[in-house]
């Protein structure tokens, strides 16, 4: 059986984590066909923009679960994510610099799952440059849940993508002078849109139905567009089977 060098796993995780670290640090329909666009709504559309922003942050923090999907642009690259998050963890998929993988966090345990191609693509080498041992090791990791130890520098970068509070705190802030930008609609839900610096500091669509949850964010500087859904909808986080898990943490050097 081909041994899996722990250093190889660590290098590959560190490479993609460094890329993802950059990422962390919609068209609406105007009008609603009545003289009072706030008739029958939750009333936040009548509030000053700063109050709308604080209300939506409070609403987002009041529930235990959410789904976050869309794109983040950083360093000239576009990253795609589709994550389901709740208080004790999260799961979902990310694509960073052409590398697709899944993340799963349950409490303090963090796992990364990817195919063999993910593990084979290291240090800019192509398939023809790799030896049989490298390919065999990558094949053994493909489709497995690789546990990322808490002592690994990549742990904090990846776990941020599975932390509801961390992500929402970093995302739900518009930059510059706040203003409202009319009534819109997202996925059939009426919204009020607020902007930072007339849109250059980002725009946020806030639900006018039910609680004022954020529904769509266009990040400042063209840094991506994200949608929020399934607010308060719980989901299961299941430990991966032992036979599908690779834990290399005990083999890592302490430095």
Q: What is the CATH number of the domain that holds 147?
A: 2.50.20
Reference 54, options 179, 232, 173; nearest CA is 173
Residue 223 lies in a domain: yes
Residue 247 lies in a domain: no
What is the reported pLDDT for 254? 39
**CA torsion through residues 47, 50, 51, 55, sign:** positive
Phi and psi angles of residue 101, each rounded to the nearest 5 degrees, phi first:
-155, 170
Task: Write out the residue range of the structural domain in which residue 129 sits.
Answer: 6-25+28-239
Reference 213, options 174, 153, 172, 245; nearest CA is 172
Does pLDDT of 249 surpass 70? no
Residue 253 lies in a domain: no
Number of domains within the chain = 1
Average pLDDT over residues 211-232: 95
Helix axes 164-171, 6-24, angle to 10 degrees: 40
Tokens at residue 15, please?
């490479």
The model scores a pTM over 0.85: no
Residue 108 lies in a domain: yes
> Under DSSP, is residue 199 helix (H, G, I), strand (E, B) or coil?
helix
pLDDT-derived band at 122 (thresholds 50, 70, 90) equals low
């Amino acid at each position: 059986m081909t041994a899996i060098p722990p250093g190889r796993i660590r290098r590959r995780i560190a490479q993609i984590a460094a890329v993802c670290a950059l990422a962390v640090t919609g068209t609406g329909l105007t009008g609603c066909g009545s003289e009072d666009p706030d008739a029958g709504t939750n009333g936040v559309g009548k509030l000053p923009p700063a109050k709308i922003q604080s209300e939506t942050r409070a609403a987002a923090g009041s529930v235990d679960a959410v789904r976050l999907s869309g794109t983040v642009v950083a360093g000239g690259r576009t990253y795609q994510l589709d994550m389901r998050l709740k208080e004790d963890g999260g799961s979902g998929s990310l694509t960073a610099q052409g590398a697709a993988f899944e993340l799963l966090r349950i409490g303090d345990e963090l796992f990364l799952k990817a195919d063999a191609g993910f593990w084979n693509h290291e240090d800019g080498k192509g398939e023809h440059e790799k030896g049989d041992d490298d390919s065999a090791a990558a094949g053994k990791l493909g489709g497995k849940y690789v546990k990322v130890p808490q002592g690994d520098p990549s742990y904090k970068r990846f776990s941020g993508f599975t932390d509801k509070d961390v992500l929402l705190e970093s995302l739900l802030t518009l930059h510059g002078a706040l203003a409202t930008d009319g009534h819109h609609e997202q996925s059939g839900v009426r919204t009020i849109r607020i902007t930072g610096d007339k849109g250059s500091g980002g725009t946020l669509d806030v639900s006018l139905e039910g609680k004022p949850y954020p529904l769509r964010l266009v990040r400042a500087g063209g840094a991506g567009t994200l949608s929020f859904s399934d607010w308060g909808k719980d989901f299961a986080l299941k430990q991966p089977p032992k036979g599908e898990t690779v834990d290399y943490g005990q083999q890592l050097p302490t430095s």
